[in-house]
Amino acid sequence: MTNHFYDHLFAPHAANGSCFLKRDDAPSLSYAEFVEMAARIAHVLRDNGIEPGDRIVVQAPKTVEMVALYAATIQAGGVFLPLNTGYKRDEVEYFVTDAKPRVLVCDPSAVVALSDIAATVGATVLTLDAGGKGSLTDGLADQARTFETVSRGPDDLAALLYTSGTTGRSKGAMLTHENLLSNAQALTDLWKITKADTLIHALPIFHTHGLFVALNTSLCAGACVHFMASFSVDAILEALPHSTMLMGVPTFYTRLLADDRLTRGLAANMRLFVSGSAPLLADTHVEFTTRTGHHILERYGMTETNMNTSNPFDGERRPGTVGKPLSSVELRLTNSETGDIVEDGEIGMIEVRGPNVFKGYWQMPEKTAEELRENGFFITGDLGQISADGYLSIVGRSKDLIITGGYNVYPKEIEDVLNDISSIEESAVFGIPDADFGEAIIAALVVEPGAAADLEEIAGAVTTKLARFKHPRRYEIIDALPRNAMGKVQKNVLREELSQG
């Protein structure tokens, strides 16, 4: 039987004896061993009632067994639904109640808290701990080494990933076999990933970046993955001389730059550093190049679409931009009110269309209709600007647009000015309700270690570079910007905390 995603990404490795997952605390797992492990887990899923299209919710530590569970879910015809390990009981209850999984896999320590939630939807609870042990893997050796792959087509669901839910309730993005496969193939080709590569993997695997971008491209190419439980500066610096790629969030690179051991010589064997999930400051890009000789490749994607654009592998990797659309992706900028395409050089709503774009939101037809046009273009909610030579810059989220005194203000324009000030490490600009102007502009500032911030001097720098209506009403010095698990600044948290100042 044919299974569109499994047959292309996993099945070809059934007899591949080369390294797939390299671990520091356990033996490496070859591709062939991984495929066998996945088949055995597929039998466990079948024994627990999994039928084609059933959801498997997973909130468990990052282990090779969890990666094998991902492959097993696809092979058994199920839909993989990973959850952030930081979610609390009430948050998990929403996802489980909404998705109605057949199986819920969690850490053994969470069984008591989650069992009653699983029971409300008739889901079986299986366990998986940080050592790969639990009821999911107990007796795995007794299962058959092969599994008859369940037939699934390109338009069948492979994964259900929930948006972060920073505003409103989280939405489940339905991702098909073709969504995942087409994006993996496009990125593998663009970034020239081969079986000769070794990827440093320190990302979580409950998110598009760590699960789909990093692992799917490695599987597509047959590359080796240095599989780390979490991010560690020491571990990554030790791995650099023996690796060729690193995929990370901006925080990875700022923390590496803070360590004097990061040198051009240490990174000499590397061929590609990728950054995503949150904006990379242009200063970080430049400093990293100065220190290592490598230009970080920044790309742009989201839960609903996987990756949409990328800076080139060969060619200029331009700081402050996310490059050009992937070969299979159409991208346009539109007026958010009329839907008309904006003039060249103007800021507009980013819309994308292609085989990477999701099928819609789980059980939310009205929300799907609002954001996914009938012609296939998805309204991302991100505001962008395209340069004369086609590079896309992300200006901000439409929900972050500040309208003050009738003027539209894009926070990134102010943040760019603030971030250029020597005493400022990073900033976040947002609006709060104001009786006179509609919204007032607030700037949250994180000061460079050891520096002293002069607010009058900072305000003066803004005054010389930006029109008066763009000037922040207030500047707030804070210790750190609040971020979610993937490093994105949570302006909603700042707005709530600082609106009463």
Q: Which residue reads 């094998």 in tokens?
A: 68
What pLDDT is recorded for position 365? 96
Average pLDDT, the chain: 93
* 230-287 pLDDT per residue, tens: 999 999 999 999 999 999 988 899 899 999 999 999 999 999 999 998 778 888 899 9
| pLDDT tens digits, 180-190 | 999 999 999 99
**168: pLDDT strictly greater than 70:** no
Residue linked to tokens 């730059």: 257
Cα separation values, 333 from 306, 388, 458, Å: 18, 14, 33
In percent, the amount of the chain with pLDDT more than 70 equals: 98
| Residue-level length of the chain | 501
* CA separation, residue 238 to residues 249, 261, 282, 284, 343 (Å): 19, 10, 26, 21, 49
**pLDDT attached to residue 359:** 97
Domains assigned to the chain: 4-16+24-153 (3.40.50.980), 198-346+366-397 (3.40.50.12780), 401-498 (3.30.300.30)
Say how far apart CA 189 and CA 192 lie, in whole Å.
Answer: 5
Question: Under a CB-based contact definition with an 8 Å cutoff, are residues 401 and 408 in contact?
Answer: yes
**DSSP letter string, 169-215:** S--EEEEEHHHHHHHHHHHHHHTT--TT-EEEE-S-SSSHIIIIIII
d(CA 475, CA 341): 36
Q: Work out the average pLDDT over 68-90.
A: 94
Tell me the pairing of strands 402-404 and 407-409.
antiparallel
Partners of 324 in the β-ladder? 310
259, 237 Cβ separation under 8 angstroms: yes
Q: Please check the confidence at residue 217 and state whether its pLDDT lies above 90.
A: yes
> Which of the given ranges, 97-106, 391-400, 467-476, has the highest pLDDT on average?
97-106
pTM: 0.85
Q: Which amino acid would we find at residue 457?
A: E
Closest CA to 284 of 333, 249, 336: 249
Instruction: Put residue 192 in one of left, alpha, beta given phi > 0 → left and psi -120 to 50 → alpha.
Output: left
Cβ(233)–Cβ(91) below 8 Å: no
326: number of Cβ within 10 Å: 26
pLDDT at 403: 77
